[in-house]
Structure 1
Amino acid sequence: MSAAEIADNKWELEASRPPVRTTGGILQILIIGFFAGLFGWMVMFAFQGIFGARRDTLADQYGRLTVDGKPAPGAAPAQ
């Protein structure tokens, strides 16, 4: 093995290590963690909206509304 190959292997080994001891590396980890947390937060609220308890909001009353925006006569509010 030549000296150039040994130097190339050392460089590849050093380049494959994550930079967790530098300011830039720590900042990258924090930013990725922030975006992963933000994504998890959005998914959590999406699942709460899909599978959670129904609330009697205007959006839930959409199918029961009449032309003037009031509930149809005899339509009982959902509970």
Structure 2
Amino acid sequence: MRKPFIAGNWKMNKTYDEAFAFVVSVRDELDALAQDGIDVAFCVPFIAISAVAEATKGTQLGVGAQNMYWEESGAYTGEIAP
């Protein structure tokens, strides 16, 4: 049987502080899923990796990264503005 995996990203729409606050607001509920055997991860802009890593410390939640894009903001999956 395949193990469920849930990953979310917010494209280029959260600042460092917003990313930290968001993860803190949902980490307990998502960590409960991870405790039940579901892999859960946040794939965030590279500027937020340290904030999200700190917010997920002590949990089973994963952290991934996004790459760079030339636009200032918007819904560009997997991208971060310069």
TM-score for the superposition, normalised by structure 2: 0.21
Q: Which has the higher strand share?
A: 2
Larger Rg: 1
Q: Which has the higher helix share?
A: 1
The one of the two structures with greater contact order (alpha-carbon pairs below 8 A, sep at least 6) is 2
TM-score for the superposition, normalised by structure 1: 0.22
